[in-house]
Structure 1
Amino acid sequence: MPFDEKPILTILYQDEYIVAVDKPAGLFVHRSYMDKDEIYFALQLVRDQVGKYVYPLHRLDRPTSGVLLFGLNEEVARLMGQVFIDKKIQKTYIALSRGHLLGEGEIDHPLKEKLDKLGDKNVSPDKAPQEAVTYFESLLTASLPIQVGKFDSVRYSLMKLRPVTGRRHQIRRHLAHLRHPIIGDINYGDNKQNPFFIKHFGFKRLMLIAKKVEFIHPITKCQVIIEASFDQQWLQVFDELAWDPKTINSLTS
């Protein structure tokens, strides 16, 4: 859904080389073939807020919120691109998934590449599945005593996820592969749980946040840790499920 007013993005980190913002759910990083009704994009918003051209260092899906990085010059963008290629950046996501997924482990499940109709029009659709690895850890579980479909209660898990590879929709597809899809995922989610969530909690969104990124700064060589906060909708869910935000912050930090 397009934003009614021009968003002001929260700047989580800024130096003379890199800026990180907290991207809200529903905001595109930059223009795409799906954006015909959109007038606001993270790239332009960040450029306007910092007063100079910025270079996106990675992307977040439109429905995913959280930490989004930009370089402030071409050389830093190139150096940070190598950091991503070399897998020397650690990204931590938090998701609310369907059901009780317990314990921790590694999801090693190759994925067919999701192709963009315009950007990937020259890529063969017969390309072999690519390596895709995600570490997961179950943080908390909860149930609501409400019948949905054939089940007499609604179950949720709060998951910490660390992708090793960076395939498109990787976390969303990996949790769906485990049969614990992310709540609010219209592509890979549950067609009974999603409508229930909207009706019960009063809002519609993908419950996935890029919570934290950690890397060694390519210029200063110092460790950088950038973390986004849970917004009011996340806090509403925590309250409804009787999860203490302080406990969650300690588990996700």
Structure 2
Amino acid sequence: MDTPQPTPEEIQARVLHRDGLMLVIDKPAGIAVHRGPKGGPNLEASFDALRYGLPRPPVLAHRLDRDTSGCLVLGRHRKATASLGLLFKHGKISKTYWAVVEGNPTENEGEINIPLGRLDAERGWWQKPDPNGFPSLTKWTVMGRGQDGRGEPLTWLAMEPITGRTHQLRVHCAASGWPIVGDNIYGNGPRFGEPTLHLHAREIVIPLSKNKPPVRVVAPAPAHLHERLRACGWNGEEAATAAEPVAADE
């Protein structure tokens, strides 16, 4: 999936939450968050359309993989971005991802506690299970089970990465015997074409202001997940979990 450079109108339509300190946008799958060495479309190149009156564009507070969709947090000025960075670093921000995986976990919930290390020096981002690697913990819950068009088992998971290692959910799922649908690095996904990666940053909870409750933002399931989510019992977006309205600046 290759997503073209978003226009100002397209990136503004993806704002899920806005206040004086931060934005949360619904990142489309198939586009890098920042410019790579080979150039090409990237979200940062569209951030100028998200200034909303401030002198500078917002700045990424964390990353999502190119093929992952969903909640992406931006700091609107330097102090806010620094505060967000500390919250992410110290695990104060809770994140829930939706994934559709190939296979059938035997339990309905569990934890994956597998240290991760770099695969090799040439592929800087790629990871592998490594007993001498960084501690990595993921909690998961089965949301639904089903089959693909060939009768092969599929499972819809809600996953919470307690640590924030690169490619953590992808490696943990693959190492557990149920790779994420469309994962062309650690699973059985094709290099080109469908299915693309079925991993979506569904919800994020951010305790940024001491005197206010945490900000909770939900990103709607993207179109490329719908078919397999429905096969696992998803009934479409429900009012209770739809994205909350965009708040005005404070």
8 Å CA contact 1:96, 1:157 repeated in 2: yes
CA distance in 2: counterparts of 1:92 and 1:235, whole angstroms: 18
8 Å CA contact 2:5, 2:42 repeated in 1: no
Equivalent position to 2:158, from 156, 160, 163: 160
Equivalent position to 1:21, from 25, 48, 68: 25
Equivalent position to 2:96, from 80, 83, 92: 92
Q: What corresponds to 1:113 in structure 2?
A: 118
CA distance in 1: counterparts of 2:235 and 2:72, whole angstroms: 26
CA distance in 1: counterparts of 2:112 and 2:123, whole angstroms: 30
Q: What corresponds to 2:200 in structure 1?
A: 209
**1:67 equivalenced with 2:68 (yes/no):** no
Equivalent position to 2:108, from 95, 103, 110: 103
8 Å CA contact 1:96, 1:208 repeated in 2: yes
CA distance in 1: counterparts of 2:144 and 2:239, whole angstroms: 8
Equivalent position to 1:232, from 216, 223, 227: 223
8 Å CA contact 1:80, 1:218 repeated in 2: no
Q: What corresponds to 1:46 in structure 2?
A: 47
> What 5-or-longer segments of structure 1 have no aligned partner?
121-125, 147-152
Task: Give the drift of 1:116.
Answer: 8.0
SS in 1 for 2:171: helix
CA distance in 1: counterparts of 2:234 and 2:124, whole angstroms: 42
Equivalent position to 1:180, from 154, 178, 181: 178
CA distance in 1: counterparts of 2:121 and 2:95, whole angstroms: 24
> What 5-or-longer segments of structure 2 have no aligned partner?
242-250
Give the 3 Å change call, closer, same or farther, for CA 225–4 of structure 1 in structure 2.
Answer: closer
TM normalised by structure 2 equals 0.81
Q: What corresponds to 2:3 in structure 1?
A: 3
Equivalent position to 1:79, from 77, 83, 91: 83
Quick one: which amino acid aligns to residue 3 of structure 1? T
Aligned residues: 228
Q: What corresponds to 2:247 in structure 1?
A: none
Quick one: which amino acid aligns to residue 117 of structure 2? K
CA distance in 1: counterparts of 2:43 and 2:211, whole angstroms: 26
SS in 2 for 1:22: strand
Task: Give the drift of 1:243.
Answer: 3.6
CA distance in 1: counterparts of 2:82 and 2:177, whole angstroms: 38
Task: Give the drift of 1:242.
Answer: 5.2
Task: Give the drift of 1:118.
Answer: 10
Task: Give the drift of 1:183.
Answer: 0.4
Give the 3 Å change call, closer, same or farther, for CA 185–204 of structure 1 in structure 2.
Answer: same
Give the 3 Å change call, closer, same or farther, for CA 45–115 of structure 1 in structure 2.
Answer: farther
Identity percentage over the alignment? 28
Quick one: which amino acid aligns to residue 217 of structure 1? L
Q: What corresponds to 2:187 in structure 1?
A: 189
Give the 3 Å change call, closer, same or farther, for CA 242–223 of structure 1 in structure 2.
Answer: closer
Give the 3 Å change call, closer, same or farther, for CA 174–49 of structure 1 in structure 2.
Answer: same
